[in-house]
Amino acid sequence: EETIQVKELAEKMNISPNEVITKLISLGIMAGLNQDIDFDTASIIAAEFDYELVMPLSSSEEIEEKLIAELDYEDSPEDLVLRPPVVTVMGHVDHGKTSLLDAIRETSVTKKEAGGITQHIGASTVNVKNKEIVFLDTPGHEAFTSMRARGAQITDIAILVVAGDDGVMPQTVEALNHAKAADVPIIVAVNKMDKPEVNPDRVKQELTEHGLMPEEWGGDTIFVHVSALKKQGIDELLEMIALVSEMQELKANPNRNAVGTIIEAKLDKSRGPVATVLVQKGTLSIGDAVVSGSSYGRIRAMLDDKGKRVKKVGPSTPVEILGLSEVPNAGERLYMVDDDKKARDIAEKVRIKNRDEHLKATQKVSLDDLFERI
Ligand code: GDP
Ligand code: MG
């Protein structure tokens, strides 16, 4: 718990300690010159004198920040190589997000494979003219909100699906706002073009009102007409994704300790905690020690999006991992560390930090109650 001496607080604000003591009394707090007052009380006093107190990081928060800086360090530009783009599909319910993802997966597999492939994890890698594109099944808005809240940006491109017969709907607007806030380029897929009642120009008109002006109208948003049902326009959509990703010059260093983000995780009855992680930097291999929040362990096995066992994976690869001590949170970062002892130490520090945060939250409530009574 952070505290400050009455004397010190007065000094910082350049106000006589007597004035501070008088203010404290008016709040019902009897405190002498050398008495420690807690951070919240000090903030209230400070506000009375038009000062704002900035919460110093707790020691556990500081430790975590240092650790992250150490594990998720910036790479030098010369170590970076091109990596595949990571794409999320967003849009209003029933506009065809799932159907579009299915159509993309089906058109990308060879005839021989088709039918034999079952979706294994919540992400898939698709091959387009020998270039890979990674699609996340996570609903776009979740990918943006929960993950961004944890400081992780996982999506490079957003596909905004709009049913051509239905037009722009509330969740369409919500989705495009999330993508804009995250500064992620948007490609619009006007879907259900097989239906006779579609009106793609109306979709363009409506989206223009939300700042997405089609290229043919002088703007810079790419619109592609598709039918997920009839599998039409899928190749063009994939080409546009490849084009936009080329312009972004997405890069990562494959030769470093891996850093990734948990896409989804669950407890499997026979296999224990199972997590799908998107590796974003570095290379993750079987046997590597990893930590994600308060979960840690050694990678016991890895499976790719087709359910095939793999030994090591590089940047922009979604894989299912086994070997964690507990189920991590979706959106949490995953770090590879040098050995399991270190992984366990970090996980323990995070656990303490989480507990501290919980305590702080409950203390805050009781303090507020106290002031209300006064
Ligand atoms: P989601 O809620 O956005 O994931 O939408 P779905 O993929 O579940 O599709 C909702 C409904 O629209 C389903 O009944 C689909 O069969 C239908 N649908 C999706 N794409 C098309 C399309 O291109 N044409 C037509 N006619 N129907 C489609
Ligand atoms: Mg769906």
ipTM above 0.85, yes or no: yes
User: Which pLDDT belongs to residue 120?
Assistant: 65
Exposed, middle or buried, 290 (CB in 10 Å: 0-12/13-18/19+)?
buried
- Which residue's C-alpha comes closest to atom 26 of ligand 1? 192
Q: And the tokens for 122? A: 């919540």
On the question of pLDDT at 371 being above 50, the answer is no
CA-nearest of 199, 240, 229 to 98 is 229
User: Which pLDDT belongs to residue 68?
Assistant: 77
Q: How confident is the model over 221-231, as pLDDT tens digits? A: 999 999 999 99
Q: And the tokens for 129? A: 């003219």
On the question of pLDDT at 368 being above 50, the answer is no
Q: Report the C-alpha gap between 335 and 259 in whole angstroms.
A: 5
> How many whole angstroms from 197 Cα to the centroid of ligand 2?
22
DSSP 271-318: TEEEEEEEEEESBEETT-EEEETTEEEEEEEEE-TTS-B-SEE-TTEE
Is the distance from CB of 191 to CB of 231 less than 8 angstroms?
no
Q: Which residues pair with 317 in a beta bridge?
A: 279
Q: Report the C-alpha gap between 53 and 250 in whole angstroms.
A: 40
92 is in an annotated binding site: yes
Instruction: Name the residue type at position 67.
Output: L
User: Which pLDDT belongs to residue 367?
Assistant: 43
140 is in an annotated binding site: yes
On the question of pLDDT at 149 being above 60, the answer is no
Which residues have CB under 6 Å of ligand 1? 91, 93-99, 191-192, 194-195, 227-229
Q: Report the C-alpha gap between 131 and 133 in whole angstroms.
A: 7
On the question of pLDDT at 373 being above 50, the answer is no
Provide mean pLDDT across the span 126-149.
76
Spell out the residues 6+ positions from residue 155 whose beta carbon is closer than 8 angstroms to its own. Answer: 86, 87, 88, 136, 140, 143, 144, 179, 182, 184
User: Which pLDDT belongs to residue 111?
Assistant: 47
170 is in an annotated binding site: no
**Cα angle vertex 90, ends 235, 227, to 5°?**
35
Q: How confident is the model at residue 1 (pLDDT cuts 50, 70, 90)?
A: low
Q: What is the mean pLDDT of the chain?
A: 87
Q: How confident is the model over 245-276, as pLDDT tens digits? A: 999 999 999 999 999 999 889 999 999 999 99
